[in-house]
Amino acid sequence: MPKTVACPTCGKLVPWKPESKWRPFCSGRCRLIDLGEWLDESHRHSEPADEGGMSPEREGGEGYH
């Protein structure tokens, strides 16, 4: 039996196999809903990932402009 994952948008179980066209989403509709949420910034990364901890801006340096 193939592994299943939950659709990130609606939670429906999706088989994780090559035939699942929209994986990890259950459908093109759920995929587009998720894309729309990224585009209107409902989803976002809180801080850039760096190995030094805090960004140069927050350390009091000039930072990136």
User: Cα separation of 63 and 60, whole Å?
Assistant: 8
Residue 65: pLDDT band with limits 50, 70, 90: very low
As its CATH architecture, domain 4-39 has 2-Layer Sandwich (3.30)
pLDDT in tens, 11-41: 999 999 999 999 999 999 999 999 999 888 7
Tally: H helices and E strands in the chain = 1, 2
User: Cα separation of 57 and 65, whole Å?
Assistant: 10
Question: Tokens representing 34?
Answer: 């998720």
Q: Which residues in 38-47 are b (16+ Cβ under 10 Å) and which e?
A: eeeeeeeeee
